[in-house]
A and B are shown apart, each in its own frame.
Chain A
Amino acid sequence: MTARKDLRAEARGGAVLSVWLTLGIVLLAVVLVTVATVDADAAAIAPSALWLVFALISTMAFGRGFRDEHAHGAWQAVLAAPAPASAVFLGKVGANLVLTLIAELAVIIAYSLVVEWPASTAVLAAAVLLGTIGISVVGTFVAAFTSERDSGDLLLPLMTLPVLVPLVALAAQLTRQGLGDGVEGGWWVLVILLAGYDLIVLATATLAFGFASAKV
């Protein structure tokens, strides 16, 4: 119910996709142009650049989305209702996941058309899905508690990005195999590690959200 509500509100002019459409594309274009200008190996740098952009822009988008909720007090009313906090959290993660996947797929398709076509779409899809799950979970959790504060726009990336370092590293390696270098023997290890990271953060964040949003 929460995911459906969020997706419906987003379709009517929400914050998540608007951040992607503006900052996300501009930032990615700047990175790629810079890489081309210095004659660097785009295939080597692009995966890391992509995931840094994904992590940063997603974090900002989630923060804006929560500021909208806080602005009219609706989030306060949601937490005051008897529905389990964990269910509300998972709903928000689900909606953020769908929206971020849409934006990331658009970016990757654009990259593939302009720079290089993926060597393995299956591996690339796995990287995008598993990486985005982790970003959505961590970003949503931190955004829920920092966006209300005056310094929330600083706190959010400060608290989110360090936690996402292992995910970004793993996802970038898997993406590099999927994009251009070709699939190598150890790709399944990266998939397992990413899935493990997602499971750990999802379980931890879901449990912690209920405690952290309680009023005692």
Chain B
Amino acid sequence: MTHAWPLAHGGALTWDELALVVALYVLLGLVVLAGRRSRAGDGVDESSSNDIDAYGGAAIVVDDVSFRRGRDWTIRNVDLQVEPASFVVIAGANGAGKTTLLGLIAGREVPSAGTILIGGINPHLTPDLAAALVGVVDHQSLLYPRLTVRENLEYFAALHGLDDERRRIARALALVQLRDRADSRVDRLSHGQRQRASLARAILHGPRVLLLDEPFSGLDLSGADGLEHLLGQLRDAGITVVMTTHDLERAVALADRVLVVAEKTIAADIDCAAFGPVATKVRCREILIGSAGAQTPAPAIPVGST
């Protein structure tokens, strides 16, 4: 074998050995790429487009979407249109697919079949464009715990390429009422304050759509009341909100529509204004309890409540 190059004390790397190392690195890269791509599902709709007109200007369109992990279907054949500036709650039992549906809309998961559009943009084809339209509040804070609230917002403002960073940060902090804790580290905030900081991060870039996954989880009464008030303000400001929650009381207080996810699809789409708050809650309970197979009868509707 000829040496690739002579080294100081006779130790040398042959061309074969060098080729092996390069091949190992290329193989590593291919394995990583293959692993990422295999998570993308096996039925992405190649004909999907960014044509908002085809869907009548809806803020969110979910068109016959299904999703599976391995062999298990998490949701199947979900059709949904969410109008701009509306507030939609997705309710359902644990494991029904609420978080998966939200993750698909957010672009974190790729549908195994069907199309999702946000403001006419397919988040899986043009994720950067969709990222500017969507804000997400998750179970996790999506914040750096050892940085302050302000430092986190500055970093995410830079990631979004926002020019008027200071004004946006000030406005977000004012909206979530965290101005006095802006220079506190995130890991030193209470759960409710962390939730509000997360909301500030989500609305910093002025999204048209806000997706929230169980935002009231773990909050005490005061924190939940504060968050409910905030979400109401965002709804009144014209932001389209989609929220998953187990808290039907707050859901009904905020929502224009309640979607009940059961049997891996949307089992009911309830217009809260038409049904009224009590009937909406009763109907949700009927579907949720029915899908769980429980025998508990639905409570009677009080006279005069609708």
Given A80-B131, A159-B28, A215-B107, answer yes or no on A9-B147 (Cβ-Cβ < 8 Å): yes
Smallest beta-carbon distance A185→chain B, Å: 8
Hey, which chain A residues are within 8 Å of B160, CB to CB? 81-83
State whether the Cβ of B229 lies closer than 8 Å to any Cβ in chain A: no
Smallest beta-carbon distance B13→chain A, Å: 7
Using CB atoms, name the residue of chain B closest to A69: B144
Question: Chain A's interface: helix, strand, loop or mixed, by majority?
Answer: helix
State whether the Cβ of B208 lies closer than 8 Å to any Cβ in chain A: no
State whether the Cβ of A169 lies closer than 8 Å to any Cβ in chain B: yes
Hey, which chain A residues are within 8 Å of B158, CB to CB? 1, 83
Using CB atoms, name the residue of chain A closest to B21: A166
Q: Is the CB of A163 within 8 A of B142?
A: no
Interface code B34-47, partner A: CB below 8 Å = 1, 0 otherwise?
Answer: 01110010001000
A142–B31 CA distance with the chains assembled, in angstroms: 11
Q: Is the CB of A215 within 8 A of B7?
A: no
Interface code B141-165, partner A: CB below 8 Å = 1, 0 otherwise?
Answer: 1111111000100011011110000
Q: Is the CB of B127 within 8 A of A173?
A: no
State whether the Cβ of B3 lies closer than 8 Å to any Cβ in chain A: no
Interface code A43-82, partner B: CB below 8 Å = 1, 0 otherwise?
Answer: 0000000000000000000000000010011101110111
State whether the Cβ of B191 lies closer than 8 Å to any Cβ in chain A: no
Q: Is the CB of A74 within 8 A of B7?
A: no
Hey, which chain B residues are within 8 Å of A145, CB to CB? 32, 35-36
Q: Is the CB of B7 within 8 A of A82?
A: no
Hey, which chain A residues are within 8 Å of B35, CB to CB? 145
Q: Is the CB of B185 within 8 A of A12?
A: yes
Q: Is the CB of A215 within 8 A of B127?
A: yes
Hey, which chain A residues are within 8 Å of B36, CB to CB? 145, 211-214
Hey, which chain B residues are within 8 Å of A193, CB to CB? 5
Hey, which chain A residues are within 8 Å of B144, CB to CB? 5, 9, 69, 72, 74
Q: Which of A192-213 contact B (CB under 8 A)?
A: 193, 200-201, 204, 208, 211-213
A173–B8 CA distance with the chains assembled, in angstroms: 8
Residue in A165, A204, A211, A212 whose beta carbon sits within 8 Å of that of B21 in the complex:
A165
Of the candidates A5, A8, A162, A208, the one having the most CB atoms from chain B within 10 angstroms of its own CB is: A5
State whether the Cβ of A184 lies closer than 8 Å to any Cβ in chain B: yes
Interface code B114-156, partner A: CB below 8 Å = 1, 0 otherwise?
Answer: 0000000000110111011000101111111111000100011
Residue in A5, A88, A159 whose beta carbon sits within 8 Å of that of B151 in the complex:
A5
Given A201-B25, A204-B29, answer yes or no on A82-B159 (Cβ-Cβ < 8 Å): yes
Using CB atoms, name the residue of chain A closest to B34: A212
A8–B128 CA distance with the chains assembled, in angstroms: 27
Q: Is the CB of B7 within 8 A of A12?
A: no
Residue in B18, B25, B146, B155 whose beta carbon sits within 8 Å of that of A12 in the complex:
B146
Using CB atoms, name the residue of chain A closest to B186: A72
Q: Which of B234-293 contact A (CB under 8 A)?
A: none
Of the candidates A1, A9, A77, A82, the one having the most CB atoms from chain B within 10 angstroms of its own CB is: A77
Using CB atoms, name the residue of chain A closest to B13: A166
Q: Is the CB of A163 within 8 A of B156?
A: no
A213–B128 CA distance with the chains assembled, in angstroms: 13
State whether the Cβ of A14 lies closer than 8 Å to any Cβ in chain B: yes
A8–B144 CA distance with the chains assembled, in angstroms: 11
Q: Can you name 5 extra interface pairs (CB under 8 A) apart from A80-B108, A186-B8, A190-B7? A: A72-B143, A74-B144, A177-B8, A212-B36, A215-B124
B-contacting residues of A (Cβ < 8 Å)? 1-2, 5, 8-9, 12-14, 69, 72-74, 76-78, 80-83, 88, 142, 145, 159, 162-163, 165-166, 169, 173, 177, 184-187, 189-190, 193, 200-201, 204, 208, 211-216
Question: Can you name 21 A-B residue pairings with CB atoms under 8 Å?
Answer: A5-B155, A8-B146, A8-B147, A12-B185, A14-B146, A72-B144, A72-B145, A73-B141, A77-B136, A80-B106, A81-B159, A142-B28, A145-B35, A163-B24, A193-B5, A204-B29, A208-B33, A211-B33, A212-B29, A215-B124, A216-B124
A-contacting residues of B (Cβ < 8 Å)? 5-9, 11, 13, 18, 21-22, 24-25, 28-29, 32-33, 35-37, 40, 44, 106-108, 110, 124-125, 127-129, 131-132, 136, 138-147, 151, 155-156, 158-161, 185, 201
Please list the 7 inter-chain residue pairs (A to B) with the smallest Cβ-Cβ separation, ordered nearest first: A73-B140, A81-B159, A77-B142, A186-B8, A82-B128, A83-B159, A12-B146
